A and B are shown apart, each in its own frame.
Chain A
Amino acid sequence: MMKSGLSLLQSVLALLGGLTALCGLVGAAISADADILLTVAVGLGALTLVRFVFRPISFWLDGLAAVLIAVALVLALPRGSAMPGHYWFAMVSAWAFAWLFVDQLSGEIRKGTVPRKTMGLLIPAVFGISLLVMWEIVTRGANVPPVLLPAPSAIGAQLENSRGILWADFVQTFVKSVIPGYIIGCLAGLIVAIAVDRSPFLKAGLLPIGNFMSALPIIGIAPIMVMWFGFDWQSKAAVVVAMTFFPMLVNTVAGLNAASTIERDLMRTYAANYWQTLVKLRLPAAGPFIFNALKINSTLALIGAIVAEFFGTPVVGMGFRISTGVGRLAIDLVWAEIAVAAVAGSAFYGVIALIERGVTFWHPSVRGGRA
């Protein structure tokens, strides 16, 4: 442990990675038709054990070992049959090296020896790729039926083959239902919140109803919306409006009270009128609350539109494809839709979060300072 310069956890991971690689190597040696690349890769993994007897090695070598073993393993996976037992050692080894690499990398970032900006991105990337690789190996290596869980490569192939369908579904669900519904719902929530804030009557009457409504499973209204607005995207957008309205209403009402007493007193000493106080003080102070609602709603809107399509739709749309795909056992396509939805949802959320950083730059939670 002293020689390798590692922490306890890192030592355990290094030992695990090296020893499983060694087992993988032994397994390859005694099997008849060993894959050459995989044998070389686990050989390199086993070689890292020298750090315990000789001298510490660079953590980049751990990363290299993880990548090599993972790539070799994925390439060596047999088609249509379970993989040889010693391949499992290689998988554990790749996983241990990946973890070891990330752990050491984050240590180096903290010490400032590698730049945070670029290398910081490497950690989630390694994490995501490891997950995909494990998924690929487990589904194919253990011969999991594709109906239960297809391998990422199969989903990827489906993404490639069904580009036209996926794009049409994306336009129908995201561009036509989510975006208009989101904009209308959020704007309406904001405007009604301002009205509620201004009128004590509305505050007493509407806000409890708002809280009650937001507790209802809004998705239950989807069939009603279909009756009201028809099968096409209008009824889905209406569900999205209903889902995004209340989070925005409740958050904005809270946000409009976020300005401190002294900040309001200041406006009063200037004899500022209601609208001046609203625009120059209360709305900016409510910014963090409003963006909170915008972020919550970006996820809610997508869920709402997809699930609403389960209740009747023209023959296009992400929700339609998912519900019919499951029935027709076209599971690869279902997963491809899920992948598109995940990417679209994350990108949507990411854009809102980026705008938030620009607009509420002054807030302690964004600038990382004291209040």
Chain B
Amino acid sequence: MIPVVSAQNLGLTFSTNDGDVVALSDVNLTIEKGDFVSFIGPSGCGKTTFLRTIADLEQPTSGTLRINGQTPEDARKNRAYGYVFQAPALYPWRTIEKNIALPLEIMGHSPQQQAERIKRTMDLVNLSGFEKKYPWQLSGGMQQRASIARALAFDADLLLMDEPFGALDEIVRDHLNSELLKLWDRTQKTICFVTHSIPEAVYLSTKIVVMSPRPGRVTDIIESNLPKERPLDIRETPEFLAIAARVRDGLRAGHSYEEVV
């Protein structure tokens, strides 16, 4: 089967006024259909850049990258993925439901289809009742949930999420994590998920990619053998803690102890 994402010797160097910044170097990674992959590593190690490269928002400077066997550009044009940015990026002149309708309008869905999908995704992220509100009338957490609903609305098979829950409190985060797992289980989507949190990464993932900064490279890829069914209290089991310890070791090896977030 063709992997969803396949990167070989992938490198990306930004040339800036202060000289070159190596954001990715020699990244080799294969993501199969149905994988839930977390990217973890200290700030500035290239997690966002890698996700943006998959999304064809940045161009690699070396190596090859294929999405569903296609170039990133073709994959983007085929609407292969939904992207959740670190900031909600909702358009302030549109209501929440109109923001969620935005990709549907662009992709030419009928009004009935739009209404049905808006309702479904808003239920999914627990935002029902806020359809007619404007983004600036909602809290930051609600805005981020709306942006997740917007990425889910058009049902792409690949979901790219850049620290989507970074700004949320622990309780909402736990809830959205288990919702995300259910969604992933039900829809067979492939998810790439950037996070700063070790428990979050271990709880969600089938595969954890540990990255280290300067130059951004992958130091460890950990396959998780946790069962697909994951109640929240799985986080106290020895299997869970063993994987968490391995992630922590990977982060420590990648960089000096203090700088690990």
Determine whether the beta carbon of A262 is less than 8 Å from that of B89.
Answer: yes
A50 to B77, CA, bound (A): 82
Residues of A within 8 A of B76 (CB): 268-269, 271
- Residues B93 and A270 in contact, CB atoms below 8 Å apart: no
Pairwise interchain contact B85-A266, C-beta atoms closer than 8 A: yes
Name the one of A265, A267, A269 contacting B81, with C-beta atoms under 8 angstroms. Answer: A269
The residue among A268, A271, A360 with the most chain B CB atoms within 10 A of its own CB is: A271
Q: Is the CB of A269 within 8 A of B57?
A: yes
Shortest Cβ gap from B181 to chain A (Å): 24
Q: Could you tell me if A265 and B107 are in contact, using CB atoms closer than 8 angstroms?
A: no
- Chain A residues within 8 Å of B55, by CB: 269
Contact with A along B82-114 (1 / 0, CB 8 A): 110101010111000000001101110000000
Among candidates A266, A267, A271, A362, residue contacting B93 with C-beta atoms closer than 8 Å: A362
Q: Is A145 an interface residue (CB 8 A)?
A: no
Query: Which chain A residues lie closer than 8 Å to B56 at the CB level?
Result: 268
| Smallest beta-carbon distance B73→chain A, Å | 9
For A280, give its contact among B52, B77, B106 (CB under 8 Å). B106
What CA separation (Å) do A298 and B106 show in the bound complex?
Answer: 35
Q: Give the contacting residue for A263; candidates B78, B89, B103, B134; CB below 8 A.
A: B89
- Closest partner residue, chain A, to B76 (CB atom): A271
Determine which residue in A263, A265, A269, A281 has the highest number of CB atoms from chain B within 10 A of its CB, and name it.
A269
Which residue of the partner chain, among A270, A284, A362, contacts B103 with CB atoms under 8 Å?
A270
A residues near B134, Cβ cutoff 8 Å: 362
Which of B81, B87, B93 is close to A262, meaning CB atoms less than 8 Å apart? B87
Query: How many residues of chain B are within 8 Å of chain A by beta carbon?
Result: 25
Cα distance A369–B138 when bound, in Å? 12
Q: Are the C-beta atoms of A362 and B92 separated by less than 8 Å?
A: yes
Residues of A within 8 A of B78 (CB): 271
Given A280-B106, A362-B136, are A266 and B79 neighbors across the interface (CB < 8 Å)? no
Provide the A274-291 mask, 1 if CB < 8 A to any CB of B, else 0: 001000110010010000
A265-B85, A369-B136 known; A270-B91 Cβ under 8 A:
no
Q: Is A351 an interface residue (CB 8 A)?
A: no
Interface residues of chain A: helix, strand, loop or mixed (majority): helix
Q: Is A55's CB within 8 Å of the partner chain B?
A: no
C-alpha gap A281/B78 in the complex (Å)? 21
Q: Is the CB of A266 within 8 A of B89?
A: yes
CA distance A367 to B136 in the complex (A): 10
Q: Are A271 and B79 in contact (CB under 8 A)?
A: yes
State whether A268 and B57 are in contact (beta carbons under 8 Å apart), knowing that A362-B92, A362-B134, A362-B136 are contacts in the complex. Answer: yes
Contact, CB under 8 Å: B81 / A270: no
Question: What's the minimum C-beta distance from A14 to chain B, rounded to whole angstroms?
Answer: 45
Of residues 99 to 150 in B, which have CB atoms within 8 Å of A's CB atoms?
A: 102-103, 105-107, 134, 136
Q: Do the beta carbons of B57 and A265 come within 8 Å of each other?
A: yes
CB distance from A2 to the nearest CB of B (A): 47
For residue A272, CB closer than 8 A to chain B, the reply is yes
Name the CB-closest residue of A to B55. Answer: A269
Extra pairs beyond A269-B82, A362-B136 (8, CB < 8 Å): A266-B89, A270-B103, A270-B107, A271-B106, A280-B102, A362-B93, A363-B92, A367-B136
| Chain A to chain B contacts (Cβ below 8 Å), 29 pairs | A260-B89, A262-B85, A262-B87, A262-B89, A263-B89, A265-B52, A265-B83, A265-B85, A265-B89, A266-B83, A266-B89, A267-B106, A269-B55, A269-B57, A269-B81, A269-B82, A270-B102, A271-B76, A271-B77, A271-B78, A271-B79, A280-B106, A284-B93, A287-B93, A360-B93, A362-B92, A362-B134, A362-B136, A367-B136
Give 5 closest A-B pairs by Cβ, nearest first: A362-B92, A362-B93, A269-B83, A262-B89, A271-B77
